[in-house]
Amino acid sequence: MRTILSFALIFLFLLFGYILLGFFWLYGKINKEAADLAQLRIVQFIFKCVHKTAGIRLTVIGEENVPTDEAVLYVANHRSMADIVVAYARTPRLTGFVAKDVVNKVPALRAWMKRLHCEFLDRDDIKQGMKVILSCIDKVKNGISIFIFPEGTRNKNKDDLTDIGEFKDGSFKIASKTGCKIVPVAITGTNRIFEDHVPFIKSAEVIIEYGKPVLFSELEKEDQKRIGAYFQNQIHEMLLGHNELMNN
């Protein structure tokens, strides 16, 4: 039943969402900022509804660390397609996610994601990847936060939920070139919602934790050179804490 309800909710939203997109396109001609924010809140409402239908039992840690008055770069570990559903429902201001290019092939989903300032990355095309980074830099300069998964792909290690793939340094140029704060985000348990038992959705305990924001310019020179490893280690420490919480 969870599977049917969750997919039906998403399907109906995408199906009838074109009407909303048309309305907000017109409204955006009058007040683009208000239209963008309204679209964000609608998507967040739908994602929170998906939380309920999917039976996600969410624990949030450190949300007070997220700046609400400026654009930031979120960097997170990546376990599941549900990571975006969980994280996007809680962003306080306009935020674009960097997603795989394959998502760009789904018309209704593509339309909403583009309207919400998301970017589509072809990880096999270095030139296209640089264009995405430059576009993200421009968005941050215009007050739009960016959320990335520096591993570049989902981690499929079911045996160790604290395991993280190597964080790519290139994504952090968004922060070094704009001076925005970097917010580390650790997510645990989302793989248990869907990926661990495709095609069914099951209830799961999920933890999302926000670390303290960091300015690239205030890091030690050695940490700046190995910026990916620096945040990978930070998030790994947070995931170890999640492991203890879930085992208690």
Query: Could you check whether the bond before residue 199 is cis, i.e. omega within 30 degrees of 0?
Result: yes
- Tens digits of residue pLDDT in 37-88: 999 999 999 999 999 999 999 999 999 999 999 999 999 999 999 999 999 9
- Structural domain boundaries, residue 243: 56-247
Within-domain flag for 227: yes
Calculate mean pLDDT across residues 92-110: 84
Q: Please give the tally of structural domains in the chain.
A: 1
Q: CATH no. for residue 134?
A: 3.40.1130.10
Residue 15 lies in a domain: no
The pLDDT of residue 108:
77
Q: Model-level pTM?
A: 0.94
In a domain, 204, yes or no: yes
Residues 6+ away with beta carbon under 8 Å from 193:
54, 56, 80, 82, 201, 202, 203, 204, 206
Give the separation between CA 121 and CA 132, rounded to whole angstroms. Answer: 7
Look at residue 121 in the predicted model and tell me its pLDDT.
Answer: 86
Cα–Cα distance measured from residue 165 to residue 155, given in angstroms and rounded to the nearest whole number: 7
Give the chain's mean pLDDT: 92
Residue type, 38: A
- Is residue 102 over pLDDT 80? no
Whether 26 maps to a domain, the answer reads no
The pLDDT score that the predictor gives to residue 176 is: 96
Within a domain: 48: no
Residue with tokens 């490893």: 229
15 confidence band (pLDDT: 50, 70, 90): confident
pLDDT top residue among 23 and 108: 23
90 assigned to some structural domain: yes
Residue 3: inside a domain, yes or no?
Answer: no
**Does 50 map to a domain?**
no
Q: In the predicted model, what is the mean pLDDT of residues 15-39?
A: 90
Supply the pLDDT for residue 159.
Answer: 86
List strand residue ranges (DSSP E) for the chain, in order. Answer: 56-61, 72-76, 95-100, 119-121, 145-148, 181-188, 204-210, 214-215
Largest CA distance in the chain: 53
Q: Give pLDDT, residue 101.
A: 79
